[in-house]
């Protein structure tokens, strides 16, 4: 999302607040049906629900929708909202158009964009909450209330690597810091085998942020507290140093493939499987991309995965809109109860079948992940409980660092200017939201 579209989205969220002024309460919206327990398979014959999805999440709920419709008699219609999803959904809400449900990123940086206190049903007391893992239970909340159900595991950030490329370079132990990661990349380059140490994705832009995010993991919690109170800045020397190291050592230092300015996300997965690139720093989206065109046996024999942070062998987690589902306060008690029932059905009655159909890891410790998942997927799931949140989790709003980094790789921004662009956008968005201190 660009700076302009994010500011526009926040403006729409503010407009949603103004449009809801008929509700004098500043507290959470309440379902007109209350928070009485629902039966996941109770009859809903004649009830129609609308679920908003992004283009990349349109297939995700198909199994649960079919099962829910069969069990209850309800109808669930999906509506694809064009990209950029995070700005177009608030625009729809500002126009007075409310769905019953929507996929939405369950973080404190993105939940406020749909004005949850006015527009969403609180889900604090739903029975499925206690079924979630510890990390997942920590998501979906803002202002002291839960507004999002976490239906899939947050994306896990780490390093995918080609096993043959590592063996050829003589790498037998995984790095335990970012500097060790760079040292391994230099060792691969020194072999002069034609294998790029890293595959970077300048063409699609969004993965450019991840190598910088790895280096930001030593920033203390007090930094994020101060940043969110406008007492610290994205131009902090540690952030500028992280951007500078990425530029000077990875990009300018020849540790990325020659086409790093135009490389795509799809290319990244293919290069990793072919062995023309030794490593890719990315989130679980790359796992899904690779699984879509390769068997588990092919993946297990070709690539591995390991967690990494600036000074530890630790992963990071990065929620996106495919992870969370919210229910809207429509004023129709029957539909609101049905929406809660749909989420309950998803995370209780149907959950085992849902994750099996989608071939994904479980977010519920009591429900084992399906058999036959690649070892890379299982390694990410194992790393999640000790993973730390990326800045989308820790900051009150997430600036588009990847767009500023794209400007940097084409020579129009310096590392300092990338950091300043993040700071400018951060302050502008929070001012537009009316956050105290900005």
Which tens digit of pLDDT belongs to each residue from 124-156? 999 999 999 999 999 999 999 999 999 999 999
CA-wise closest residue to 8 among 87, 75, 71, 115:
87
pLDDT at 15: 41
398-432 pLDDT, tens digit each: 999 999 999 999 999 999 999 999 999 999 999 99
Do 84 and 8 contact (CB within 8 A), yes or no?
no
Do 268 and 201 contact (CB within 8 A), yes or no?
yes
Cα–Cα distance measured from residue 142 to residue 112, given in angstroms and rounded to the nearest whole number? 8
pLDDT at 22: 30
pLDDT at 56: 84
CA-wise closest residue to 105 among 398, 409, 424, 402:
398
Question: What are the distances in angstroms from CA 405 to CA 53, 200, 211, 232, 359?
Answer: 28, 12, 11, 21, 33
Dihedral of alpha carbons 33, 38, 42, 45, sign:
positive
CA-based R_g, the chain, Å: 22
CA-wise closest residue to 211 among 244, 234, 252, 167:
244
Establish how many alpha carbons lie within 13 A of residue 62's alpha carbon, considering only the half-sphere containing its beta carbon.
Answer: 8
Cα–Cα distance measured from residue 336 to residue 32, given in angstroms and rounded to the nearest whole number? 8
Query: What is the distance between the terminal CA atoms of the chain, rounded to a whole angstrom?
Result: 22
**Choices 3.30.590.10, 3.40.50.300, 3.40.190.10, 3.40.30.10: CATH for 3-154+319-367:** 3.40.190.10
Question: Which residues make Cβ contacts (< 8 Å) with residue 208, sequence separation at least 6?
Answer: 200, 201, 202, 401, 402, 405, 406, 409
CATH topology of domain 156-318+393-432: D-Maltodextrin-Binding Protein; domain 2 (3.40.190)
pLDDT at 36: 84
Do 305 and 379 contact (CB within 8 A), yes or no?
yes
pLDDT in tens, the chain (438 residues): 444 444 444 444 444 433 333 332 334 444 433 468 899 999 999 999 999 999 989 999 999 999 999 999 999 999 999 988 988 999 999 999 999 999 999 999 999 999 999 999 999 999 999 999 999 999 999 999 999 999 999 999 999 999 999 999 999 999 999 999 999 999 999 999 999 999 999 999 999 999 999 999 999 999 999 999 999 999 999 999 999 999 999 999 999 999 999 999 999 999 999 999 999 999 999 999 999 999 999 999 999 999 999 999 999 999 999 999 999 999 999 999 999 999 999 999 999 999 999 999 999 999 999 999 999 999 999 999 999 999 999 999 999 999 999 999 999 999 999 999 999 999 999 999 999 999
Q: Quick check: pTM over 0.85?
A: yes
- In the chain, residues under CATH classification 3.40.190.10 are 3-154+319-367, 156-318+393-432
Cα–Cα distance measured from residue 139 to residue 142, given in angstroms and rounded to the nearest whole number? 9
């Amino acid at each position: 999302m660009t700076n302009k579209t994010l500011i526009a989205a926040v403006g729409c969220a503010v407009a949603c607040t103004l449009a809801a002024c008929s509700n004098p309460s500043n507290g959470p919206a309440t379902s007109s049906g209350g928070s009485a327990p629902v039966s996941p398979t109770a009859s809903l014959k004649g009830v129609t629900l609308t679920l908003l999805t992004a283009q990349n999440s349109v297939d995700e709920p198909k199994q649960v929708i079919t099962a829910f419709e069969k069990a209850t008699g309800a109808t669930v219609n999906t509506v694809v909202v064009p990209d950029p999803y995070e700005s177009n959904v608030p625009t729809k809400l500002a126009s007075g158009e409310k769905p019953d449900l929507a996929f939405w990123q369950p973080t404190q940086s993105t939940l406020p964009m749909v004005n949850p206190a006015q527009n969403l049903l609180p889900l604090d007391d739903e029975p499925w909450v206690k079924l979630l893992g510890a990390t997942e239970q920590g998501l979906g909340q803002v202002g002291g209330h839960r507004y999002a159900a976490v239906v899939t595991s947050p994306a896990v950030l780490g390093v995918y690597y080609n096993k043959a490329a590592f063996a050829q370079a003589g790498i037998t132990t995984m790095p335990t810091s970012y500097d060790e990661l760079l040292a391994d990349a230099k060792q691969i380059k020194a072999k002069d085998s034609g294998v790029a140490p890293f595959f970077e994705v300048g063409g699609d832009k969004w993965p450019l942020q991840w190598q910088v995010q790895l280096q930001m993991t030593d920033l203390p919690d007090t930094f994020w507290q101060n940043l969110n109170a406008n007492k610290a800045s994205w131009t902090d020397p540690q952030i500028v140093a992280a951007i500078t190291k990425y530029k000077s050592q990875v990009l300018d230092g020849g540790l990325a493939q020659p086409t790093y300015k135009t490389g795509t996300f799809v290319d990244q997965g293919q290069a990793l499987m072919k062995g023309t690139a030794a490593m890719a720093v990315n989130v679980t989206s790359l796992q899904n991309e690779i699984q879509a065109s390769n068997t588990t046996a092919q993946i297990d024999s070709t690539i591995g995965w390991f967690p990494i942070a600036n000074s530890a062998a630790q992963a990071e987690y990065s929620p996106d809109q495919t992870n969370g589902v919210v229910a809207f306060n429509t004023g129709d008690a029957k539909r609101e109860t049905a929406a809660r029932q749909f989420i309950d059905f998803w995370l209780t009655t149907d959950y085992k079948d849902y994750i099996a159909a989608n071939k994904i890891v479980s977010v519920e410790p009591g429900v084992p992940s399906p058999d036959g998942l690649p070892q890379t997927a299982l390694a990410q799931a194992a790393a999640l409980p000790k993973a730390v949140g990326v800045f989308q989790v820790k900051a009150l709003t997430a600036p588009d660092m990847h767009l500023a980094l794209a400007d940097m790789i084409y020579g129009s921004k310096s590392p300092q200017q990338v950091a300043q662009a993040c700071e400018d956008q951060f302050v502008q968005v929070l001012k537009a939201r009316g956050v105290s201190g900005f």
